[in-house]
């Protein structure tokens, strides 16, 4: 295990390596920068029709009647379809990724504002939207359940009366850890601190909203679906199950995707409606959401009401952590999490600390709000887990009068304890936390910052320093432990080297902006020495890529990246045998130099991978038992998750007159094991930190008491711009994963997971003179103002 203490600045140096890992400009960017990306909405097919969805204006109501006659008579309208019509085909309800069902179009009731009620198919998208206005729906308004705390009250209205025998709004219970052991450590602890925390409902708001183009060819019996999906193969299997079509008759194509952030993992009613519409009309049909539809109806994130408790000795040894969570899942349980993990990977809430006992009890409920939950770079709910533990550790530091950095350093899991089994059963593969923490403190000038803060405090200025240290679990599988609707979480990869030595690699994961076309070429290049520029990366087309579960939970590098390295090694092994024939020596006498084999002790006698590719496809004999061609295919099933970690330090200033928080500095030291492309990693981190500023200070999908969504536009749902964020200061350490073939761990969600608690901790630190121990996100000026005045408003 090596740990590199090295600071990199935030500029990239463009030293483009010809082969393998290193900073390399993204291969996909010329296409994006010149406006030549091809997104779902760019797909134009001959005779294509357009679909628009009528959505419920209210949160909870019984549908009394729907009159579509005026809409049907509207110019250019080809079809108007209601839930009742879908019900006749048994298509009104569809399975969700969490073994619940969700209405494609409402039949009996509407259960959240924005729910799909009917759709219109017309000659263009404007005619379709105009016709929506002519559909007359009579609603019998019911009392909505908006607050999760209300959901389980005995007199709360029943939301899911579609489920047989259901008498309340309970969704599931889940627990992890050892309740009795935790009780025992709490009973003997010197200090116990507890704090209520709300991680509010937020939305990933990708730049491109969700949409699809469905093209059902009745003669071929084949459905082609261009769709905004992060998991094309998993979606194809679900469509096959619902539609009763065989998988080879369904082609799911995810072209360029304008940001996913978990918002494009679920299957939305709109996709199904587009498919139905194409079958009904016999034409290709496009459905594309607008911004408000995306914000009110598609996968939200978080919405956890948590109580955190921590037990410690007086000198700051953490003994136990306990939490009780009320999870708001909205109207349908549509969470995209592996089946056995209804709370995602929240079980890692013990964080980076070596403790004696832990316990979590969770209750999830239905409310009259949009479904979702696992989204927004959450690593399957590790956002919530890290926020809980890093906030509660800060509360403990405050109680003990200890420096929060010192308290963390004192309790870290030590390098020799890895692989480390947590008290909730997760096996952290590798880690070396102290150097990462020390590097962040050194980059920040931590002691100097504390001195500056003391001086400012003496003058009445509000400056805060916040720390968060996180460990994530990313890279789902292993397939024996993890599946989504019975599909094991493994990934295929196929590599073909053409006669001229150029290659094409086919992935089962799907890029939405993460730069896979570059980094996967780099992984292959590192293993077989063909320059990345000569390696084409294909993804996002089920007819042309091997099966696998897709991109989310930062699993592409841990799972598919491993598959890419191993498939390349398989090709290299075959190349070695061919090289031995070409050089007329035994395989054992060959040495590999990243791009060529030479005879040991005689570097002049060598053949390049390109020579070998030509020979593999060319005339002439190949060694006994070796088939022609140079290609391989594998399916990689990871033996464990990978556990990246990081230390984040945030410095804020608060204007005492306006309560406005300014993030002055942010230092992020990440450890994702072996780094494939540092420039891309920094880009991922910068994006995630920006998300963190949004969540900590600005973003919330709020509702009024009638269930109206108050975050339905980007005027109301505030997302950060370059004006709200500082110049990020990034650094890294390298602790490779011992079980990953190249030692890489995922990083795509690390900064979103780690940054909100660092920012909140900084704000609370700044407010210490007011005796504030906690305030809930988003820390808008009004909330900070209230906290300064000791009045916490209900969230």
CA 631 to the chain's CA centroid: 32
CB of 364 to ligand CUN, least distance (A): 17
Q: 285 or 375: whose CB is closer to ligand CUN?
A: 375
User: 209 is in the binding site of which of ligand MCN, ligand CUN, none (Cβ under 5 to 8 A by kind)?
Assistant: none
Of 217-225, 260-268, 490-498, 627-635: span binding ligand CUN (CB under 6 A): 260-268
CB closer to ligand MCN out of 372 and 515: 515
Query: Which token pair is 438?
Result: 């020390």
Q: Taking CB under 6 A as the criterion, which residues in 665-694 touch ligand MCN? A: 672-677, 680-681, 684, 687
Specify the DSSP class assigned to residue 72: H
DSSP string of 711-747?
TSSTTTS----TTT----EEEE-----SSSTT-B---
Q: Which is nearer to ligand MCN, 236 or 675 (CB)?
A: 675
Three-state DSSP class for residue 84: helix
Helix axes 404-411, 382-400, angle to 10 degrees: 110
> Does 744 interact with ligand MCN (rule: CB under 6 A)?
yes
> In DSSP terms, which residues pair with 669 in a beta bridge?
647, 731
Q: Residue 253: how many CA atoms within 13 Å on its side-chain side?
A: 18
**Spatial contact of 408 and 469, defined as CB atoms under 8 Å apart:** yes
| Binding of ligand MCN by 515 (CB under 6 A) | yes
What's the rounded Cα separation, in Å, for the pair 72 and 67?
10
Residue 644 as a binder of ligand CUN (CB under 6 A): the answer is: no
The yes or no reply on residue 552 touching ligand CUN (CB under 6 A) is yes
Stretch 369-398 residues interacting with ligand CUN (CB under 6 A): 374-380
Half-sphere exposure of 457 (CA within 13 A, CB side): 15
Phi/psi for 688 (5° steps) reads -65, -35
What's the CA angle centered on 191, arms 189 and 194, to 5 degrees?
110
Residue nearest to ligand CUN (CB): 262
How many residues make contact with ligand CUN (CB under 6 A)? 15
User: Is residue 553 a contact point for ligand CUN (CB under 6 A)?
Assistant: yes
Q: What is the spatial distance between Cα 201 and Cα 389, in angstroms, rounded to a whole number?
A: 19
Per CB under 6 A, does 668 bind ligand CUN?
A: no
Please identify which residue in 68, 430, 508, 514 interacts with ligand MCN, judged by CB under 6 A: 514
- The side-by-side arrangement of strands in the sheet containing 661-671 is 6-7, 729-732, 661-671, 645-654, 462-471
Inter-axis angle of helices 609-617 and 562-583, nearest 10 = 80
Strand order in the sheet with 109-110: 109-110, 61-67, 136-141
372 sits in which H/E element: strand 372-373
Of 346 and 418, the one with the shorter C-beta distance to ligand CUN is: 346
481 within 8 A of 340, measured Cβ to Cβ = yes
CB 354 within 8 A of CB 409: no
- Looking at the chain, how many residues does it have? 795
Q: How far is the CB of 691 from ligand CUN (least distance, A)?
A: 10
Residue 263 beta carbon to ligand MCN: minimum distance, rounded to whole angstroms = 8
Q: How far is the CB of 266 from ligand CUN (least distance, A)?
A: 11
Residue 374 touches which of ligand CUN, ligand MCN, none (CB < 5 to 8 A by kind)?
A: ligand CUN
Q: Which does 519 bind (CB under 5 to 8 A by kind): ligand MCN, ligand CUN, none?
A: ligand MCN
259 binds, among ligand CUN, ligand MCN, none (CB under 5 to 8 A by kind): ligand MCN
C-alpha to C-alpha distance for 180 and 182, rounded to whole angstroms: 5
512 near ligand MCN, rule: CB under 6 A = yes
Binding-site member from 202, 301, 348, 377 for ligand MCN (CB under 6 A): 377
Question: Which residue's structure tokens are 């569809």?
Answer: 94
Q: With CB under 6 A as the rule, give the number of residues binding ligand MCN.
A: 34
672 binds, among ligand CUN, ligand MCN, none (CB under 5 to 8 A by kind): ligand MCN
Which residues, 6 or more positions from 144, have their beta carbon under 8 angstroms from its beta carbon? 58, 59, 60, 157, 368, 706, 707
Look at residue 754 and give the partner it binds from ligand CUN, ligand MCN, none, a contact being a CB closer than 5 to 8 Å depending on partner kind. Answer: none
- Of the pair 119, 520, the CB lying nearest ligand CUN is at 520
Site for ligand MCN in 189-208 (CB under 6 A): none
Check binding of 516 to ligand MCN (CB under 6 A): yes
- Interaction between residue 254 and ligand CUN (CB under 6 A): no
Identity of the residue, 274 or 336, whose beta carbon is nearer to ligand CUN in the bound complex: 336
Which one of ligand MCN, ligand CUN, none interacts with residue 696, CB within 5 to 8 A by kind? none
Q: CB of 520: closest distance to ligand MCN in angstroms?
A: 7
Distance CA 247, CA 245 (A): 6
Applying CB under 6 A, the residues found at the interface with ligand MCN are 259-262, 377, 512-516, 519, 551-557, 672-677, 680-681, 684, 687, 744-749
Applying CB under 6 A, the residues found at the interface with ligand CUN are 230, 260-262, 265, 374-380, 552-553, 749
């Amino acid at each position: 295990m090596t740990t590199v203490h090295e600071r990199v600045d935030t500029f990239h140096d463009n030293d483009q390596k010809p082969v393998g890992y290193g900073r390399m400009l993204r291969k996909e960017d010329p296409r994006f920068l010149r406006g030549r990306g091809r997104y779902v909405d760019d797909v134009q097919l001959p005779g294509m029709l357009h679909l628009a969805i009528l959505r419920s204006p209210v949160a909870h109501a019984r549908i009394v009647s729907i009159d579509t006659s005026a809409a049907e008579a509207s110019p250019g309208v080809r079809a108007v379809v209601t839930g009742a019509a879908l019900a006749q085909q048994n298509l009104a309800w569809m399975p969700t990724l969490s073994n619940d069902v969700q209405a494609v179009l409402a039949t009996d009731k509407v259960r959240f504002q924005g729910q799909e009620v009917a759709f219109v198919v017309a000659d263009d998208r404007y005619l379709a939207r105009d016709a929506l206005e002519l559909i007359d729906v009579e609603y019998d308004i019911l009392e909505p359940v908006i607050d999760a705390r209300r959901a389980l009250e005995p007199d709360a209205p029943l939301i899911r009366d579609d489920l047989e025998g259901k008498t309340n709004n309970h969704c599931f219970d889940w627990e992890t850890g050892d309740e009795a052991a935790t009780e025992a450590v709490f009973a003997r602890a010197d200090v116990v601190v507890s704090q209520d925390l709300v991680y509010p409902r937020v939305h990933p708001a990708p730049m491109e909203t969700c949409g699809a183009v469905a093209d059902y060819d009745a003669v071929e019996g084949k459905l082609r679906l261009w769709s905004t999906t992060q998991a094309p193969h998993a979606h194809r299997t679900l469509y096959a199950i619902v539609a009763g079509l065989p998988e080879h008759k369904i082609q799911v194509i995810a072209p360029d995707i304008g940001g996913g952030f978990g918002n494009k993992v679920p299957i939305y009613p709109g996709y199904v409606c587009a498919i139905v519409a194409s079958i009904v009309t016999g034409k290709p049909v496009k459905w594309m959401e607008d911004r408000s539809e995306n914000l009110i109806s598609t996968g939200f994130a978080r919405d956890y009401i948590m109580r955190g408790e921590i037990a410690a000795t007086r000198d700051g040894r953490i003994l136990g952590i306990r939490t009780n969570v009320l999870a708001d899942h909205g109207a349908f349980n549509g969470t995209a999490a592996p089946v056995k993990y209804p709370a995602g990977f929240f079980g890692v809430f013990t964080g980076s600390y070596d403790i004696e006992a832990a316990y979590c009890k969770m209750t999830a409920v239905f409310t009259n709000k949009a479904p979702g939950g696992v989204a927004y770079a959450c690593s399957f709910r590790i956002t919530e887990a890290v926020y809980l533990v890093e906030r509660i550790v800060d509360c403990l530091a405050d109680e003990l009068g200890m420096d929060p950095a010192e308290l963390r350093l004192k309790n870290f899991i030590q390098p020799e304890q890895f692989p480390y089994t947590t008290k909730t059963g997760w096996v952290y593969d590798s880690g070396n936390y102290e150097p990462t923490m020390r590097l962040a403190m050194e980059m920040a000038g931590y002691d100097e910052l504390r001195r500056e803060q003391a001086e400012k405090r003496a003058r009445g200025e509000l400056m805060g320093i916040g720390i968060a240290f996180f460990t994530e679990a990313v890279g789902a599988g292993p397939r024996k432990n993890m599946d989504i609707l019975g599909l094991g979480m493994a990934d295929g990869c196929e590599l073909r080297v053409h006669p001229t030595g150029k290659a094409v690699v086919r992935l089962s994961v799907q890029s939405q902006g993460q730069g896979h076309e570059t980094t996967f070429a780099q992984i292959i290049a590192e293993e077989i020495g063909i320059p990345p520029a000569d390696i084409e990366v294909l993804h996002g087309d089920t007819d042309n890529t091997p099966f696998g579960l897709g991109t989310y939970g930062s699993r592409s590098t841990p799972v598919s990246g491993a598959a890419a390295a191993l498939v390349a090694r398989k090709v290299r092994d075959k190349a070695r045998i061919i090289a031995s024939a070409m050089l007329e020596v035994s395989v054992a006498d060959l040495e590999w130099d990243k791009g060529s084999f030479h005879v040991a002790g005689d570097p002049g006698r060598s053949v390049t991978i390109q020579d070998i590719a030509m020979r593999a496809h060319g005339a002439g004999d190949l060694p006994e038992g070796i088939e022609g061609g140079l290609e391989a295919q594998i399916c990689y099933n990871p033996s464990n998750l990978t556990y990246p970690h990081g230390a984040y330090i945030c410095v804020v200033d608060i204007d005492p007159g306006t309560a406005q928080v300014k993030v002055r500095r942010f230092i992020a030291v990440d450890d994702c094991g072996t780094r494939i492309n540092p420039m891309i990693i920094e880009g991922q981190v910068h994006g995630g930190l920006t998300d963190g500023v949004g969540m900590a200070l600005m973003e919330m999908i709020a509702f009024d008491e009638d269930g109206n969504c108050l975050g339905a536009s980007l005027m109301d749902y505030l997302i950060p711009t370059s004006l709200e964020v500082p110049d990020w200061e990034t650094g890294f350490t390298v602790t490779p994963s011992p079980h990953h073939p190249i030692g890489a761990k995922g990083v795509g969600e690390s900064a979103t997971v780690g940054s909100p608690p660092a920012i909140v901790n900084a704000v609370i630190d700044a407010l210490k003179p007011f005796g504030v121990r906690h305030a809930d996100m988003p820390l808008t000026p009004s909330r900070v103002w209230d906290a300064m005045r000791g009045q916490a408003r209900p969230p």
